[in-house]
Structure 1
Amino acid sequence: MKQKPIFFLLSISLLFLFSFNEATVKDTLPKKKIERGPIFSNVVYQGDDDIYKNNPLKPDEFYSPVLQGCYPDPAITRKGDDYYMVCSSFAMFPGVPVFHSKDLVNWTDLGGVLNNVSEFNPHNTGISQGVYAPGITYNPHNDTFYMIVTAFSGGLGNIIVKTKDPMKGWGSPVKLAFEGIDPCIFFDDNGKKGYIVHNDAPDKGKELYQGHRVIKVWEYDLENDKVIPGTDKIIVDGGVDLSKKPIWIEAPHLYKKDGRYYLMCAEGGTGGNHSEVIFVSDSPKGPFKPASNNPILTQRYFPKDRADKVDWAGHADLVLGPDNKYYGVFLGVRPNDKDRVNTGRETFMLPVDWSGVFPVFENGLVPLEPKIKMPEGVTENKTGKGGFFPNGNFTFTENFTSEKLDYRWIGLRGPRENFISVTKKGLQITPFEVNIKEVKPTSTLFYRQMHNTFSFATTIDYKPASEKDLAGIVCLQNERFNYVFGITKKGKDTYILLERTEKGQSKIIASTKIEIKKPLRLQVKAKGDNYEFSYSLNGTDFENLGGSVSGDILSTNVAGGFTGALVGLHATAANDTKAE
C-alpha cells in the first residue's frame, strides 16, 4: 500500500480534530420509515482459509492472529489473573471493543467501551474517523482501569474513561488538554504518579520532512484526571535515528522493569515499512536512548511474494503472561491472492524474550507463522466454544433468538439498537432514509470479514414497496467503495440487483426481475479477490448474479483508510439505484 493516502488522511484528521461541533443525538438520528422493514434470519458466516487447513493445531498451540478481521492497534493490561485488551474501532459503534481473558489464549468479547451515543457520536464522519489507537492501563494504587484514546468526532479530541470493573461498563469520557494522537497512560511509584505519552507534530517551524513526528510525555494529575500544564516534553524526535528521516514514530507505551523505563513505539507508518522499536531511560521524562538492535519486530525485510504472507507488523503492547513470561500484541495484515488487504489490520500475538536489557519479539524478525505455543500451564484452547471468541476457520450461525445479540454485530456511526428489533421470525431492520454512500448512521447490521475465503448467507423476508426501498447484503470497505446486493422495485416489478460503488460512483453490475413468493436466501462467497453474489428463491437452488467480481474495492490498497471490509444486513429507504 502506498503511504501517502494514509498520511494525507491522518493530516486531514488532525486538521479537523477540534473543528467538529457537538450535536444532539435527536438532531442526528435519521428518520425511520413507518412501513415494515425486512426480516433477516438464519445468518451463516463460514471462514475457510487454506492457511488454517494446512496448519492444524497441536494440543499446546493456538492461532495468531488472535482477533481476525478489523481489530487493529491493540493495547493490553493485566489485573491479577485477568487480562483486558482494547482495539481501534473508527466510526464503528460502539467504540473501542474490549476483550477479556484469563490466559491470553481464550478471549471473550465484552462489547465496546464507548457505547453511549450521547457521549461518543461519530454520526457525520467517514468510516476511518471516530476513535483509534486506544491505550488501556490498570492502576493498582486506586484499583482502577484507564482507557485513553483519540476521538476524531464530536469535538472530543483526546479522552480518558475509567472503571473499577470492565465487566460492568465504563464511566463518562473526560477531555484532556493536549493535541496529537495515540495516547497511553503509565503509572509509576506503585500507581501514585501518572504520565501520558503520545504522538504529536514537531514544534512549530521544526518539521524537517513529511512524516516527521515526535513522542511527548506529560505528567498526569490522578486526583483531577488532567495533564499538568507545562509539564510536556519531547522525549523522541523523529524516531530511532533522525538523520535517516524515520517516519511516523507513534503508538508509544511506557514500561518499568528493574528500575529503568522503557519506551516502545511503532515506526515507519502503517504499511510495508511498519516496525516496532524501543528506547530506555533512567527517568520517564528521558532522555531516552534507542536499543542498538532496533527494530525488535518487523516484516519489512522479506520477499513481497512470499507464501502465507503476514505484513505490516507493528503498533505493539507488552504484558506479563500467566507463565511469568512476556507477550506482545500487535497489528498485522494477511493479504489475499492479489496482495490486497481486505480483512484489515488484525491483532496478532507473539512471546517476547526480555531476559536481556531490551525485549525482543520471538520470531518477530522472521516471516510470521500462523501458530504459537500456549503459555506454560494453559491446558485448553477453547476458542470458538462456550462463548469464547473464535479464530482459525470457523462457522458462525445467528438465528437471532438469543436475548443478547452477539457483540460481533455492530452499527456504523450509531447504535445498532436504533434500527433493529427481534421478532418471532428473526431480526427486523427498520430502514433509515439514508443511503449506504452517506456519512450518516446507516440501517445496516455489520459483521467483520475475518477470512480471505469465506461465505456469508442469510434468509430475507422482504417485499419492497417502492423504488426507494432496498434491502439485502452489503460488502463495504467505506462509504465510497462497496457492493450492494439487494431487492428493490422498478415500477410494479420486483428486482434483485448487484451494484458496485467505486470512488463514490455507482454502477449496476447486473439485475434481474424476480417474483417473491416466500423468503429469499442471499449469499456472498469470496475466494481471495474473487467475490460472487447469489440468490435462491426456494432456499436451495442458487442463481449467481453478475458473475465473479473483484474484491479490489473492498481492500485498503484501493479504498484507502484504516478499516477492514465489513459484510452486513442492509436496508434503506433512500435507495438511489435503478434496476435495469
Structure 2
Amino acid sequence: MKKTQVLLLFLNIVLFSFTEANSQNKQKSNSPLFSNFTYQGNDQVYKDNPLKSDEFYTPILQGCYPDPAITRKGDDYYMVCSSFAMFPGVPIFHSKDLVNWTDLGGVLNNVEEFNPHDTGISAGVYAPGITYNPHNDTFYMIVTAFTGNMGNIIVKTKDPKKGWGSPIKLGFGGIDPSIFFDDNGKGYIVHNDAPDKGKELYNGHRVIKIWEYDVQNDKVISGSDKIIVDGGVDLSKKPIWIEAPHLYKKDGKYFLMCAEGGTGGNHSEVIFKSDSPKGPFIPAPSNPILTQRYFGRDRKNKVDWAGHADLVKGPGDKYYGVFLAVRPNEKNRVNTGRETFILPVDWSGEFPVFENGLIPLEPKLKMPKGVTENKTGKDGFFPNGNFTFQDNFTSEKLDNRWIGLRGPREKFITVTKKGLQINPFDTNIKDLKPTSTLFYRQQHNSFSFTTTVDFKPKSDKELAGVVALQNEGANYVFGITKKANDYYVVLQKNHKARRDEKTASTIIASTKIDLKKPLQLQMKANGDDYTFSYSTNGTDFNNVGGTVSGDILSTDVAGGFTGCLLGLYATGSNDAQPE
C-alpha cells in the first residue's frame, strides 16, 4: 500500500472516530436551552443567628459533602470529601484560614481513569484521606473506589491546584484508608477491614489495620499488615463500625482517631494512644471525644450523626477538627445529606477533645486567632449560611458546584451566548447509566431553585426540566414534554415502597401549556414540603401537583449515603406521560 493510501486510511479512521465520539456526546434529539438560574437558601436558623464580625458558620460546606479529610502545607489547607458516583470524584477545597474556602473542583476528573458509569449513586468513591508529606514535598489522596475493579487507590501531586497524577492501585482490601508519614519519612496506611476469617463476633464487628508503605514504589509492603484495633473502644460492648482511621503524632506519641457506632444516630469519634504506630493502642478514658447521640430528638436547630473526623493544626497552632454531621428538617429527614462541619479542638491535655463537641452543636463559631475577615460567598469563596447563587451559563468555565452523575458534565453540555444547552442522552433518570443532568447539591432545608427553559419537544419521548434526586430509585421529575400535538408540564414521582423492590413511577399531575416562549420552572422546599411550579411570564407561578413530601429525598428513608441533588435534566427516553 502506498504512503498516500495509508495516510488517507489513517485520516478516515481518525475522522470516523471523532464523528462517532461526537455523536455519542452531542444531541440525540432536540436540545433544550437553560438560562437565568437562581438557587436561594432560606433556613430559619441563619435568620435567628446573624453573624458578628468575628464569627463564621458551621457547617462550612453545606449539602452533600461528607467524610471530610484535611491536611496542611505552610499556610495552605486542603480538604477533600466523598463524592460517591458524582463526577468529578473527590471534591477538593483550599483555604488559608479554615474559614474562607475555594472550590478547586474534583481530584478524579479523568473519566478514562475513574469511570463510575454503571454504579448506584452511593457507590463510586468515598471516605478519602489527604496528607502532605514534607519529606518529598508531595500531597497524597487515598480513597476506596467501588467501580472499575479499582479498590483502594492513591494519587499524588506537588500542587493540588494544578491537578493530580494517575490512580495507583494498592493491593489491600477494606475501606476508609488514610496515609501517615512519620518524622523519619516512613509511611503507613491505616484502614477499616473485616476481622480475620472466622473471627467475626457480631454484625458490625470491624477492625482497623495498618500497613507499612513503600514511599519509593508507592505500594504497601507485603506481610506488614497488622490489626491495631479490634471492634472498637471496648469489644465486650460489641461496638459497631470502627472506621475512618487517622494517625497523628504529638510529643513523641502516636494517636489513632476513628469513627465508631455507624454513620447514623449513634455516630461518634474516639481516640487511642500508643508508643508505636503499630500499637498496642489504648483508648482514651474520655471517649467519645465527639458525638451528638445523647440529646433529645426534637431539640431546636438539631445537628446529629456527628463523627468521621480529621484533625489539623490551624492558625495560631490551635487544633481544629473537620467532621460530618446532618441537619434534619422538622420531620427529622435528612435531605441535605451529610455535611462538613468544623470545631476547635483542645489538645492541651493527653488526648484531644472537640470543644463543645459533646453538647448540642451551635450554628456559628468564633473565627480562628488572627483571621479578621469572613469572605464566604464573596470574591470567589464558597458560600454558607443563607445565600443566593445565580448563573446565566455564559462564562467560559462552568462553576465547580455544577456536577455530573456517573460521568463528566462536559459529555452533554454546550455553553452558548444565550445559556446552557443540554444535549439529551437516550437514558432516563432512573437508569444506572450516565444521564444528561447537570446537578447542584441541595444546601438548605428551605430553598428555591428556578430556571428558564427554552424547549419544544418533538415527541413524548423528549422531556426537559428539573429533578430533585436522592438516588436512581427515589426522585421527582418536573418538565416539559409532548402528547399528541399538545405541550405539557408533568410532575412524576419515582420511588420504591421497599428498598429491595423495583422503582414505581407515578404521575402526580400534568398541565397543558402554551409554549409560545420559554418557560420558567421552579422547585421550592419548606422543610419536608416540596412544590413544583411553572411561569409563562416570569412573574406568576402556577403550582403543579400541590405540595408533595420530601420523604423519598431523605437519606434515612431512601437509603444510601448521599443528600438530595437538584438537577437540570433532559432526556430522549422520557416515560413521564401526561394524563
TM-score grouping bracket, smaller chain normalisation: over 0.9
Match in the other structure for 2:500: none
Matches within 5 A, 1:1-400: 32-190=26-184, 192-400=185-393
| Structure ID, larger Rg | 2
Matching of residue 498 in structure 1 with residue 491 in structure 2: yes
1:293 aligned counterpart, secondary structure: coil
Are residue 564 (structure 1) and residue 556 (structure 2) matched?
A: no
Q: Find the counterpart in structure 2 of residue 13 from structure 1.
A: none
Q: What whole-Å deviation, never above 9, does each CA across 1:54-100 have from its counterpart, x for those lacking one?
A: 00001111000000000000000000000000000000000000000
Aligned CA-pair RMSD = 1.2
SS in 2 for 1:393: coil
Q: Which residue of 1 aligns with 2:546?
A: 547
Q: Report the residue type matching 1:362 in the other structure.
A: E
CA contact (8 A) 1:30 1:434 kept: no
Deviations 1:505-524 (A, max 9, x none): 11000001111000000001
Amino acid at match of 2:390: T
Structure 2: tracts of 5 or more residues without a match: 1-19, 497-502
For 1:578 and 1:419, the matched residues in 2 are separated by 24
- Structure 2 counterpart SS, 1:558: helix
Structure-2 separation of matches of 1:333 and 1:217: 30
- Cα distance change on mapping 1:127 and 1:292 into 2, 3 Å: same
Q: Distance in 2 between matches of 1:166 and 1:189?
A: 23
Q: Which amino acid aligns with 2:285?
A: S
**Structure 1 residue 463 corresponds to structure 2 residue 456:** yes
2:6 — aligned with what? none
Counterpart amino acid of 2:409? R
Secondary structure of 1:109 counterpart: strand
| Equivalent residue in structure 1 for 2:401, among 399, 408, 417 | 408
SS at 2:77 equivalent: strand
* Aligned pairs for 1:404-553 within 5 A: 404-503=397-496, 504-553=503-552
| Cα offset, 1:185, TM superposition | 0.1
Q: Secondary structure at the match of 1:431?
A: coil
Q: Is the 8 A contact 1:555 1:565 kept in 2?
A: yes
Cα distance in 1, alignment partners of residues 86 and 427 from structure 2: 16
Are 1:122 and 1:130, in contact at CA under 8 Å, matched by a contact in 2?
Answer: yes
**What SS class does the counterpart of residue 577 from structure 1 fall into?**
coil
Name the amino acid aligned to 1:140: P
Shift of 1:32: 4.9
Q: Which one-letter code corresponds to 2:171 in the other structure?
A: A
Please give the alpha-carbon distance, in whole angstroms, between the structure 2 residues aligned to 1:357 and 1:435: 55
Aligned to 1:578: 577
Query: How far apart are residue 577 of structure 1 and its match?
Result: 1.7
Aligned length: 554
Runs of 4 or more consecutive aligned structure 1 residues displaced over 2 Å after TM superposition: 29-36
Q: Is the Cα contact below 8 Å between 1:30 and 1:433 reproduced in 2?
A: no
CA displacement, residues 318-375 of structure 1 (integer Å, 9 cap, x when unaligned): 0000121000000000000110000000000000000000000000000000001100
| Corresponding letter in the other structure for 1:512 | T
- Give the TM-score normalised by structure 2: 0.95
Deviation at 1:189, TM superposition (A): 2.2
Structure 1 residue 425: Cα displacement: 1.0
Letter in 1 for 2:247: L
Structure 1 vs Structure 2: percent identity of aligned residues?
Answer: 79
CA distance in 1, matches of 2:183, 2:373: 36
Structure 1: gaps spanning 5 or more residues: 1-25
Question: Quick check: 1:468–1:575 contact (8 Å CA) kept in 2?
Answer: yes
SS where residue 323 of structure 1 aligns?
Answer: helix
Code of the residue aligned with 1:402 in structure 2: it is S
> Would you say the 8 A contact 2:29–2:572 is kept in 1?
no
* In structure 2, C-alpha distance between the alignment counterparts of 1:378 and 1:517, rounded to whole Å: 53
Q: CA deviation at 1:36?
A: 3.5
Aligned 8 A contact 1:103 1:378 in 2: yes
Deviation at 1:31, TM superposition (A): 6.6
